[in-house]
Amino acid sequence: MLFHNLGKGKTARAGAVAALAVSIALLATGCASDSTGGGSTDAAGGDTGNLAVTFIPKNLGNPYFDTSDKGGKTAVESFSGTFQEVGPAEASPDAQVSYINTATTQGVGALVVAANDPTAICDALNEARDTGIKVVTFDSDTDPECRDLFINQADAEGIAKVQIDEIAKQIGESGEVAILSATANATNQNAWIEQMKTYAASEYPNITIVDTVYGDDDDQTSFDKTAALLQSHPNLKGIVSPTTVGIAAAARYLQTSEYKGKVALTGLGTPNQMRDYVEDGTVTSFALWNPEDLGYLSAMAAKALIEGTITGAEGDSFEAGDLGSFKVGADQTVLLGDPFVFDKSNIGDFDF
Ligand code: RAM
């Protein structure tokens, strides 16, 4: 399922599935007629025919979110909805609030949000939900009470394990390692870092995590923080950067520095941003999932919520077009799959 080809043939098939799903949803949920005449409403007052879906990434200009939102757009177009992507330039905790409020005023059917902070956008999201808008978080969650569903790229333990295993391999399972993260409040990175520390302590007793710094998912800040890390930890053997922005900036710094080949770097990156560094030996390996699939799945989940085929309860299942069928797990969470390791042998096979 991961790295599914989102190519030809999907639109027609997904369109037919969408039409069928609407009829089934109407039959199954016994939706009441909307007072405005056109559609119908669900128990929460949402318009089951309102397939306007707004994606709000952590920030704009991040190739990771360009790819995930492209997957979202493909899905929304496949079910003849209206796709919109809006968001802040900087990934600060409450920068998304004004975009959420605008979408609420516009009366969209669903918001699909990657949260910069677990609580800072909660009031705005709950105000949106009070008007009947469905809220799906993806990539980085809010507190569960602020959304209907979280689409998780992979579980936190697995994401932590793959990064620690890769750095351990590259530094001979011994020495000082630092973490270059995204923003200090990011729900996803913070969960992964906690797991990385626990896993490293139990599996690799000779590895010490000496520092965690934050590049704010900003290229220049991440570049500068890499330089500072190397200065302040002269014995550093490796850097783990669980952010696509951070790992690419750190690799660019290492590439032309005296540390190339001496300090290892791994983490989460996109193949297109990391290709040069893997090919010239600055980086041996890194991991990720397919962001396009993540966006696609999130949009399909939004559609299922809007149409009332699911409410987000554990055990609910829905069709996600070409990705197949998915089930809602504990904490209203849907899991995309497992992380995947990219290295010299396979990076040429990927283009995102
Ligand atoms: C950055 C963002 C995003 C994260 C990826 C791995 O693009 O921080 O939230 O999932 O890295």
Nearest to 112 by CA among 155, 76, 62: 76
Q: Which residues contact 216 (CB under 8 A, 6 or more apart)?
A: 90, 91, 182, 183, 222
- Say how many residues make up the chain: 352
Three-state SS sequence of 250-262:
HHHHHHCCCCCCC
**Six-digit token string for 351:** 């283009």
* Angle of the 122-130 helix axis to the 97-106 helix axis, nearest 10: 10
For residue 178, pLDDT over 50 is answered with: yes
Q: Which residues contact 46 (CB under 8 A, 6 or more apart)?
A: 109, 132, 133, 134, 305, 306, 308
Whose CA is closest to atom 5 on ligand 1? 243
Nearest-angstrom CA–CA distance, 145 and 118: 10
pLDDT at residue 14, as a whole number = 34
Whose CA is closest to atom 11 on ligand 1? 243
Digit-coded pLDDT (tens) for 280-319 = 999 999 999 999 999 999 999 999 999 999 999 999 999 9
Between 99 and 7, where is the model more confident? 99
For residue 80, pLDDT over 90 is answered with: yes
Give the chain's radius of gyration (CA, Å): 21
Nearest-angstrom CA–CA distance, 189 and 192: 5
Question: What is the overall mean pLDDT for the chain?
Answer: 90
Digit-coded pLDDT (tens) for 47-56 = 999 999 999 9
For residue 145, pLDDT over 90 is answered with: yes
Nearest-angstrom CA–CA distance, 85 and 13: 25
If pLDDT is split at 50, 70 and 90, which confidence band does 39 have?
low
Q: Is ligand 1 within 6 A of the CB of residue 178?
A: no
In this prediction, residues 211-240 reach a mean pLDDT of: 98
Whose CA is closest to atom 2 on ligand 1? 243
Nearest to 185 by CA among 121, 238, 240: 121
Nearest-angstrom CA–CA distance, 17 and 79: 8
pLDDT at residue 41, as a whole number = 85
For residue 195, pLDDT over 70 is answered with: yes
**Rounded distance from Cα 179 to ligand 1 centre (Å):** 14
For residue 187, pLDDT over 50 is answered with: yes
If pLDDT is split at 50, 70 and 90, which confidence band does 202 have?
very high
For residue 9, pLDDT over 60 is answered with: no
Q: Is ligand 1 within 6 A of the CB of residue 18?
A: no
**Rounded distance from Cα 243 to ligand 1 centre (Å):** 5
Ligand 1 atom having least distance to the Cα of 140: 9
Least confident of 2-16, 28-42, 87-101, 166-180: 2-16
Q: Which residues contact 226 (CB under 8 A, 6 or more apart)?
A: 180, 215, 239, 249, 250, 253, 254
If pLDDT is split at 50, 70 and 90, which confidence band does 3 have?
low
Q: Which domains does the chain have, with CATH numbers?
A: 31-152+291-337 (3.40.50.2300), 156-288 (3.40.50.2300)
pLDDT at residue 5, as a whole number = 35
Please compute, for residue 87, the number of CA atoms within 13 A of its CA located in the half-sphere on the CB side: 26
If pLDDT is split at 50, 70 and 90, which confidence band does 339 have?
very high
Whose CA is closest to atom 8 on ligand 1? 243
Q: Is ligand 1 within 6 A of the CB of residue 116?
A: no
Nearest to 323 by CA among 299, 293, 291: 293
